[in-house]
Structure 1
């Protein structure tokens, strides 16, 4: 896993299998189906090289239509775009994974995805699910495979049982939740860390923090731009979500400034181990390190 110098929207990181993964993409979590088509199409036309969705988001079909429209309008080919989707928790298990992967491809209108992820480590299921992921990868239907929301311990357990090490771990990451031990482990293991909810989730309370507002004013940028740039300078892949074309454009305008050492230290000092997706706590019984 190797990230190159930060220079523009087409920057990539090299995954452990040699695949080039864009550093910046559009996330569509909580994007209503009616909004997803235009958001995805607009992002592609603005130069976004990556789109991230999931079956659980309920918008794969609309994302697929947005991809079709966006590529046509931009005069680009399928190979110019990196597409990620994820397996829903209720679909885990070996045969179920294979069946539901094909269903995702059909909804997206694609012959392959660039990255397929296990959405959560469902206790009692994730090991056999990963075996199916290895088959999908070996069959060439996904250029890379990985996981979401795996802790260091769960990742170690998975690697011990696997023939193929996950290439990506997509986790919640922002100044309030930095998980430094996990970040170091992933870097040391050659697994690319990807940030979901990089802007701190819904409500915008993180972006209202005085530290972030001060840094944004200093650079003449928005709070969102500061957070996205922070992800990039931390070596992460990041997928900020918006369905508004003006914000989609603004979120990609992060290559004409740099956060200095003092900025980076101030943002790092905001760590609180605070999740912004509070609903996750009600699922603690469901996810775990069991096979």
Structure 2
């Protein structure tokens, strides 16, 4: 299954006390996402709060999402970890339960360079047959996967077929899409660069806002691929204030707050991730009210 279109960086619903994954809510969220038009899901990613999940919780998340999608949407399981050993274990499990592909952010906290990052991806490729999506998010990992490194990856490790790029580097995005689309597929992971990515006809996107705004993103992607730039701009102008608000801080908390405001039960973020304040929720509610309801999740209608 080729990864393209709108991939939801699906949140991890928790019980009210944040202690357990709310499995029933997760299954409902998958169903709503499919109904809203997403092409795939990315469980246990950044928006899914993977950094505060246990090893077993990450395994269970992937199992549930794969089971609930039942082949109706792709599942790009985030299997990145701070050690190659654990990344391999997550990736082998993803293959065993039926994920479409695996995505790996490079290890963080302990600084590494390109040689170590290459060996990390190579180690995962040796352990699984699944397609691999490199995840470039330098603010979190401390390592920017530049064009040269990504091309080395895909040329020397054929399983590396995608990159989710959240670097906010518009030159890198343009180079990869315009000059190397036949070698590595670009998935935009940066909300604020959505407009230029759409204008460049990026083949796909991985977005946290897809949890509650998949109809807008599906329309944007379809318009982009068909060359309907006016529709792209019109929708973008509607959702831009929301993009700015979420990008101003506490992104994960904001996505979950938006879900709750629109009828999707996802619970709180898990400590120590900061919750949205009541004041922030009030501002968010007002911003959402300015968006055409047809662009928001059907759960709100």
Equivalent in the alignment of 1:192: 185
CA distance, structure 2, for counterparts of residue 169 and residue 49 of structure 1: 17
CA distance, structure 1, for counterparts of residue 79 and residue 232 of structure 2: 40
How much is the aligned-residue C-alpha RMSD, in angstroms? 4.1
Equivalent in the alignment of 1:240: 207
1:171 offset after TM fit, Å?
Answer: 1.0
1:1-291 equivalences in 2 (<5 Å): 20-28=2-10, 33-34=21-22, 36-54=26-44, 56=50, 58=53, 60=58, 61-62=60-61, 64-69=63-68, 71=69, 77-78=70-71, 80-92=72-84, 95-104=85-94, 111-120=97-106, 123=112, 125-137=116-128, 140=129, 142=130, 144-149=131-136, 150-158=145-153, 162-164=156-158, 166-172=160-166, 177-185=168-176, 187-189=178-180, 190-198=183-191, 200=192, 231-236=197-202, 237-242=204-209, 247-254=213-220, 255=222, 258-260=228-230, 263=233
**TM norm structure 1:** 0.55
Query: Contact between 2:8 and 2:40, CA under 8 Å: does it hold in 1?
Result: yes
Cα 1:68–1:277 change in 2 (3 A) is farther
Query: Contact between 1:50 and 1:81, CA under 8 Å: does it hold in 2?
Result: yes
**TM norm structure 2:** 0.53
CA distance, structure 2, for counterparts of residue 186 and residue 248 of structure 1: 23
Query: Contact between 1:54 and 1:88, CA under 8 Å: does it hold in 2?
Result: no
Deviations 1:136-161 (A, max 9, x none): 45xx3x1x21201122243255457x
1:263 offset after TM fit, Å?
Answer: 5.0
Query: Contact between 1:36 and 1:63, CA under 8 Å: does it hold in 2?
Result: no
1:192 offset after TM fit, Å?
Answer: 1.0
Deviations 1:217-270 (A, max 9, x none): xxxxxxxxxx7675444222112224865x344443434693249959x99xxx
**Alignment partner of 1:88: what SS?**
coil
Which is richer in helix? 2
Structure 1, unaligned stretches of length 5 or more? 1-18, 72-76, 201-226, 268-275, 280-291
Aligned residues: 205
Query: Contact between 2:83 and 2:107, CA under 8 Å: does it hold in 1?
Result: no
Structure 2, unaligned stretches of length 5 or more? 15-20, 137-144, 238-246, 251-301
CA distance, structure 1, for counterparts of residue 43 and residue 215 of structure 2: 19
Cα 1:40–1:231 change in 2 (3 A) is farther
